[in-house]
């Protein structure tokens, strides 16, 4: 490859680093993966669990009330906690442009009747209108185990498909590693942002596997099967791939802003985090591995 | 004009159009609701006893024709307890009395606007109750089938609408009973399904008859069933009774056992009774003890009156508890006991108000997302005639997914909407791949469509295969709760790959030529 002299301008220098220091750049993504594993290990060491789970995966009670009244979330939380004698998590629920829809109240280990009565007493919203989700901890535990197995199984199925598809170990491994880095990074950021994983979040993580592989397959196909130079193919993939990632992130951001349903919010926030990681892991890590593989093949 | 003609001569475009039309037929959307339907008739209510049918069109209420829910609500609000209500349903006239429950007029029927399409909203959008139960001991598959069967029957007898009872299992091989029902005030129903319902009538330690010995249960007031006596001690208590018929074998047993029991001392004449009582047990818990009239001593009687009670803070509360207890006991006796005990693992009660808010915002979000994607694409390519087909393709994809959902009766819940979103996302991704391939290589290769888009198809098929692979495990896990998401995503991805993508490829190829 001819040695291009760095041109003036930020874009040119970015381009220069991207083209020539790609092995160095890979340290960023490797660093992120190591950091992410560190975050999860720390979490495990301090709380006994790798991930923070919400009521749907841990067991407990969530009450959602629909009201346009204003309550101070912290005050309501403190009042409920003191009268019920357990820790309570209150969140406000709003739609488009902050329009009040209601509140969600999360309580672990308590029957619904007592909590319902307390919430009704404090808010005045009749308990017959509440949405109540209650799961036993044993069910949630077995559900969570199932979910972890499903994630592993999905990952393995996806890996098999990728291997069959490319029939070359290194490019296939690159695709799978990108998906792995996306997942682990996303789960770590969820812990840092205190996002508790719900059963809907699991669906989002599975979707992330699918989305993550999309851009990687695009890149690998173009680079391995293309007729132009590797860098040209990488840039053309970058153009298509970044459009894909931008549209997806934008669509999910709209969903996050518009939809008050916790299910949809969790799905959108997880996928947004995941797709940001995917941009890094596709265009730095996967590109790096592919280029190293092609160089090795040339020798 | 030539381009338009070229687009519409492609069978791929026609396949898409055909699928859209078929989906329209499957969803069958109506822009105005087609009148009212009676969606529920409460068991043992006056309406029930006067055989008001369920799930039929309601056309007249107290002599006035009704087709809108607000009109019905206004008419129903004018009814006072004790009033005679006349309705016309299915062109037949029915009359029943309004009662009082929880200080409000109680008609015993629920009326809804007739659905405007064949799409069925899932529990988290329509509101309702979901209960997940686990057998307390290992069960065979025949026993599980019985569990499903009996639970279904119990809820039907109870008079509930839109019930779904099925077996679900998780990765660990645990089997669960998943019960879903519309409406949120179903505390009684939850009690009903979690109760094993083992009934036994005993005198002393001797069993006289079991639930299975009961041949017939009378449920109407005319047959002598009902709440008949209320009294106040500290709190209010009301008694109920209803007649049952037992088998001759059980009657013989009754005769043998009672013949040995002496008449209680101090009781004489018509009011005399035996020393021991008839104890009624449900799930080994004593429900009531009944005096046995001395006239029954040694008699092979097949007619019995089952009694029980209900308590409450007020007379009305006690009355309705007694009525609920009676309904539950009758239902249990009619449907028989469950082969094993069940334990409630999860109860979700979803308010319909919140659900409709979620649905409304989810639809807005979905449409807004498609528009935002369109704008980004228009900016990226600086050509609106690329953005528009992409948006239209995505929308038609959503429509077809809903069409198939209506066809296979897949409920649309939040998870399914997330699946639709995933579909749109991967769909747009694939369309971008096609667009870029056509833009970059359109002029370089042969004019053969397949040749030109070979690479694009390779990429798209790869993505498709991985999405399906990633969704497969979800079809199996989670006691079925995320199944809807996986099903919809797989349907959506398949529609994308086999129907909308080929059509889009043809359209974009012609447009960019």
Tokens 């406000």 sit at which residue? Answer: A92
Residues B325 and B378 in one domain: no
Averaged over A167-192, what is the pLDDT? 94
- Block mean pLDDT (10 aa), chain B, length 513: 78 91 88 76 76 83 84 84 85 84 74 80 84 88 87 79 79 82 71 83 87 84 82 86 89 88 73 83 85 82 84 83 84 83 86 81 87 91 86 92 90 85 86 86 56 81 91 70 83 92 87 78
Question: Residue B348: CA atoms inside 13 Å, Cβ hemisphere, count?
Answer: 22
Query: Do residue A263 and residue B433 have CB atoms under 8 angstroms apart?
Result: no
* pLDDT the model gives residue A245: 92
pLDDT tens profile B132-157: 898 888 888 888 888 888 888 888 77
* pLDDT the model gives residue A215: 93
Cβ neighbors of A18 (< 8 A, separation 6 or more) are A25
**The pair of three-digit structure tokens given for residue B502, joined into one six-digit string:** 């080929």
Domain that holds residue B246: 128-349
Which of B324, B349, B374 delimits the end of a domain? B349
* pLDDT the model gives residue A157: 93
**Would an 8 Å CB–CB cutoff place B361 in contact with chain A?**
yes
Residues B191 and B340 in one domain: yes
The total domain count for chain B is 3
Domain A10-53+138-298: which CATH class?
Answer: mainly alpha
* pLDDT the model gives residue A8: 65
* pLDDT the model gives residue B1: 58
Chain B residues near residue A139 by CB distance under 8 angstroms: 132, 134, 345-346, 479
CB atoms under 10 Å from CB of A97, counted, come to: 7
Chain A residues near residue B355 by CB distance under 8 angstroms: 131
Query: Do residue A130 and residue B349 have CB atoms under 8 angstroms apart?
Result: yes
Question: Residue B118 carries which DSSP code?
Answer: S
pLDDT tens profile A26-72: 999 999 999 999 999 999 999 888 999 988 888 888 888 888 888 88
Q: Is the model more confident about B449 or about A230?
A: A230
Give the separation between CA B57 and CA B244, rounded to whole angstroms.
35
Is residue B264 domain-resident? yes
Confirm if B147 and B32 have CB atoms less than 8 A apart. Answer: no
- pTM score, two decimals? 0.81
Confirm if B69 and B112 have CB atoms less than 8 A apart. Answer: yes
Map out the domains of chain A as residue ranges.
Answer: 10-53+138-298, 60-135
Give the separation between CA B439 and CA B368, rounded to whole angstroms.
27
Chain B residues near residue A234 by CB distance under 8 angstroms: none
Averaged over A90-109, what is the pLDDT? 78
* pLDDT the model gives residue A27: 94
Query: Do residue B466 and residue A206 have CB atoms under 8 angstroms apart?
Result: no
pLDDT over threshold 80, residue A257: yes
Confirm if B347 and A132 have CB atoms less than 8 A apart. Answer: yes
Residues B240 and B376 in one domain: no
Confirm if B483 and B408 have CB atoms less than 8 A apart. Answer: no
Residues B10 and B137 in one domain: no
In Å, what is the CA distance from B191 to each residue of A267, B104, B158, B341, B504? 34, 24, 12, 13, 54
Tell me which residue in A101, A250, A259 faces B372 most closely, judged by beta carbons.
A250
Query: Do residue B376 and residue A101 have CB atoms under 8 angstroms apart?
Result: no
Give the separation between CA B144 and CA B406, rounded to whole angstroms.
29
Which of B82, B113, B144 delimits the end of a domain? B113
**CATH level 3 topology of A60-135:** Alpha-Beta Plaits (3.30.70)
**Would an 8 Å CB–CB cutoff place B426 in contact with chain A?**
yes
ipTM: 0.85
Tokens 């009359």 sit at which residue? Answer: B95
**Closest Cα of chain B to A56: distance in Å?**
10
Give the separation between CA A153 and CA A297, rounded to whole angstroms.
32
**The pair of three-digit structure tokens given for residue B411, joined into one six-digit string:** 């409920």
Averaged over A125-144, what is the pLDDT? 83
pLDDT over threshold 60, residue A82: yes
**Would an 8 Å CB–CB cutoff place B367 in contact with chain A?**
no
Can you give the CATH number for the domain in which B16 is found?
Answer: 1.20.1640.10
Is residue B314 domain-resident? yes
Residues B278 and B162 in one domain: yes
Tokens 């619904």 sit at which residue? Answer: A112
Residue A175, SS3?
helix
Tokens 């009902």 sit at which residue? Answer: B226
Task: Tell me the backbone φ, ψ of residue B63, rounded to 5 degrees.
Answer: 85, -5
Is residue B123 domain-resident? no
Residues B266 and B158 in one domain: yes
What element of type H or E holds B385? helix B384-407
* pLDDT the model gives residue B479: 46
DSSP string computed for B131-192? EEEEESS---HHHHHHHHHHHHHHHHHHT-SSEEEEEEE-TT--EEEEEEESSS--HHHHHH
Q: How far apart are the first and last CA of chain A?
A: 14
Question: Residue B222 carries which DSSP code?
Answer: G
Query: Do residue A210 and residue B467 have CB atoms under 8 angstroms apart?
Result: yes
């Amino acid at each position: 490859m001819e040695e291009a002299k760095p041109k003036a301008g930020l874009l040119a220098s970015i381009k220069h680093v991207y083209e020539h220091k790609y092995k160095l750049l890979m340290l960023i993504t490797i660093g992120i993966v190591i950091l992410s594993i560190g975050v999860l290990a720390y979490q495990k060491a301090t709380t006994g669990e790798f991930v923070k789970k919400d009521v749907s995966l841990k067991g407990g009670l969530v009450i959602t009330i629909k009201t346009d009244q204003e309550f101070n979330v912290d005050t309501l939380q403190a009042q409920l906690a003191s009268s019920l004698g357990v820790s309570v998590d209150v969140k406000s629920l709003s739609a488009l442009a902050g329009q009040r829809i209601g509140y969600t109240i999360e309580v672990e280990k308590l029957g619904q009747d007592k909590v319902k009565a307390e919430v009704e007493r404090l808010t005045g919203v009749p308990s017959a209108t509440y949405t109540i989700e209650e799961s036993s901890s044993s069910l949630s535990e077995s559900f969570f185990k199932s979910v972890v197995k499903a994630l592993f199984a999905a990952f393995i199925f996806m890996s098999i498909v990728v291997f069959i598809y490319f029939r070359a170990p290194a490019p296939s491994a690159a695709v799978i590693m990108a998906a792995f880095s996306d997942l682990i990074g996303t789960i770590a950021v969820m812990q840092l942002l205190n996002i508790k994983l719900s059963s809907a979040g699991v669906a989002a993580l599975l979707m992330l596997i699918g989305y993550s592989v999309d851009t990687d397959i695009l890149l690998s196909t173009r680079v391995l099967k293309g007729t132009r130079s590797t860098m040209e193919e990488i840039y053309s993939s970058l153009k298509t791939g970044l459009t894909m990632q931008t549209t997806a992130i934008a669509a999910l951001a709209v969903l996050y802003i518009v939809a008050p349903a916790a299910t949809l919010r969790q799905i959108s926030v997880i996928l947004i985090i995941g797709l940001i990681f995917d941009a890094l892991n596709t265009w730095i890590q996967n590109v790096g591995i592919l280029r190293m593989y092609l160089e090795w093949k040339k020798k | 004009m030539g381009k338009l003609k070229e687009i519409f001569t492609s069978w791929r475009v026609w396949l898409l159009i055909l699928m859209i039309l078929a989906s329209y037929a499957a969803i069958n959307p109506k822009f105005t609701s087609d009148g009212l339907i009676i969606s529920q008739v409460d068991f043992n209510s006056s309406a029930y006893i006067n055989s008001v049918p369920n799930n039929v069109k309601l056309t007249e209420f107290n002599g006035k024709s009704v087709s809108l829910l607000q009109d019905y609500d206004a008419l129903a609000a004018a009814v006072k307890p004790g009033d005679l209500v006349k309705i016309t349903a299915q062109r037949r006239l029915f009359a029943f009395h309004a009662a009082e429950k929880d200080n409000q007029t109680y008609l015993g029927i629920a009326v809804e606007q007739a659905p405007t399409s064949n799409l069925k909203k899932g529990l988290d959008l329509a509101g309702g109750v979901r209960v997940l139960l686990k057998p307390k001991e290992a069960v065979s598959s025949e026993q599980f089938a019985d569990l499903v069967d009996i639970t279904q029957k119990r809820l039907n007898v109870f008079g509930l609408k839109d019930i779904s009872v099925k077996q679900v299992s998780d990765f660990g091989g645990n089997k669960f009973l998943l019960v879903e029902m519309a409406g949120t005030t179903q505390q009684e129903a939850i009690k009903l399904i979690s109760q094993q319902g083992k009934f036994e009538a005993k005198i002393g330690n001797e069993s006289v008859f079991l639930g299975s010995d009961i041949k017939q249960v009378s449920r109407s007031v005319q047959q002598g069933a009902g709440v008949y006596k209320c009294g106040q001690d500290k709190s209010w208590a009301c008694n109920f009774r209803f007649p049952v018929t037992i088998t001759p074998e059980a009657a013989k047993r009754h005769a043998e056992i009672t013949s040995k029991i002496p008449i209680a001392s101090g009781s004489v004449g018509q009011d005399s009774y035996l020393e021991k009582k008839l104890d009624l047990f449900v799930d080994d818990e004593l429900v009531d003890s009944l005096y046995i009239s001395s006239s029954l001593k040694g008699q092979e009687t097949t007619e019995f009156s089952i009694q029980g009670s209900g308590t409450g803070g007020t007379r009305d509360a006690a009355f309705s508890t007694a009525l609920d207890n009676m309904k539950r006991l009758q239902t249990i006796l009619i449907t028989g006991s469950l082969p094993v005990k069940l334990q409630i693992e999860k109860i979700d009660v979803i308010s319909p108000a919140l659900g409709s808010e979620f649905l409304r915002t989810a639809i807005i979000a979905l449409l807004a997302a498609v528009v935002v994607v369109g704008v980004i694409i228009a900016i990226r390519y600086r050509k609106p005639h690329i953005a528009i087909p992409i948006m239209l393709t995505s929308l038609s994809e959503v429509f077809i997914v809903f069409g198939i959902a209506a066809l296979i009766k897949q409920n649309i819940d939040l998870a399914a909407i997330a699946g639709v979103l995933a579909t749109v996302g991967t769909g747009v991704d694939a369309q971008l791949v096609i667009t870029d391939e056509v833009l970059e290589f359109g002029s370089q290769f042969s004019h053969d469509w397949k040749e030109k888009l070979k690479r694009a198809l390779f990429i798209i098929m790869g993505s498709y295969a991985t999405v399906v692979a990633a969704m497969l495990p979800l079809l199996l896990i989670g006691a079925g709760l995320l199944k809807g998401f996986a099903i919809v995503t797989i349907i959506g991805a398949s529609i994308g790959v086999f129907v909308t993508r080929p059509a889009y490829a043809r359209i974009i190829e012609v447009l960019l030529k």
